[in-house]
């Protein structure tokens, strides 16, 4: 819902509405604020019926009412601007938070990766030692197998010699 603001100094209507984008600044400057009439007090706001007959008094009442409306519109615009500035700050804060969070996640991920590689190195050393032991065991088994084969051949030759009589 768009609302309208009347610029008293220029006599033009300006529309404004709350938005999520960057705020439009339509705040009156101090010189404008000084030249604008003060809002009427409650005692002066409602003129006496007998005295309101004169057009000059009616004109003063309308001017005071317009000044009050302008002041309210100006104040509402300042509040909208302040809200938008707060939202902008919140967005900047979230952006900064996301960036620092991404940096921390990257840092923790790198440390985890380094630890993982350290564990890989440790396991590789253990595996290398076990593979070396396995290789030595397989070599010993081959040697024992070769010796067993030699013993078997010797026993076969011995039985052959014993079974054959001259």
Nearest residue to 44 via CA among 61, 56, 31, 63: 61
CA distance 162 to 164: 6
Query: Between these two residues, 164 and 5, which has the higher pLDDT value?
Result: 164
Query: Between these two residues, 40 and 166, which has the higher pLDDT value?
Result: 166
The backbone region for 48, taken as left when phi is positive above 0, alpha when psi lies in -120 to 50, beta otherwise, is beta
pLDDT > 90? residue 7: no
CA distance 71 to 69: 5
Q: What percent of the chain has pLDDT over 70?
A: 66
Query: Between these two residues, 62 and 34, which has the higher pLDDT value?
Result: 62
State pLDDT tens for residues 100-137: 999 999 999 999 999 999 999 999 999 999 999 999 99
pLDDT at residue 119, as a whole number: 96
DSSP string for 65-95: HHHHHHHHHHHHHHHHHHHHHHHHHHHHHHH
The backbone region for 25, taken as left when phi is positive above 0, alpha when psi lies in -120 to 50, beta otherwise, is beta
Q: What percent of the chain has pLDDT over 90?
A: 52
pTM of the model: 0.41
pLDDT at residue 11, as a whole number: 45
pLDDT at residue 81, as a whole number: 96
pLDDT at residue 54, as a whole number: 59
Asked whether 81 and 19 are in contact (CB, 8 A), the reply is no
């Amino acid at each position: 819902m768009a609302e309208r603001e009347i610029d008293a100094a220029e006599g033009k209507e300006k529309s404004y509405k709350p938005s999520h984008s960057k705020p439009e600044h339509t705040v009156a400057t101090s010189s404008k604020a000084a030249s604008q009439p003060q809002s009427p007090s409650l005692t002066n706001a409602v003129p006496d019926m007998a005295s309101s007959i004169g057009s000059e008094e009616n004109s003063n009442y309308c001017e005071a009412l317009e000044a009050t409306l302008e002041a309210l519109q100006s104040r509402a615009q300042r509040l909208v601007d302040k809200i938008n500035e707060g939202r902008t700050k919140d967005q900047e804060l979230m952006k900064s938070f996301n960036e620092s969070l991404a940096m921390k996640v990257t840092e923790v991920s790198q440390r985890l990766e380094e630890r993982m590689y350290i564990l890989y190195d440790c396991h590789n050393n253990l595996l290398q030692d076990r593979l070396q032991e396995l290789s030595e065991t397989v070599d010993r088994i081959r040697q024992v197998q070769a010796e067993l084969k030699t013993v078997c051949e010797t026993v076969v030759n011995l039985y052959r010699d014993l079974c054959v009589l001259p």
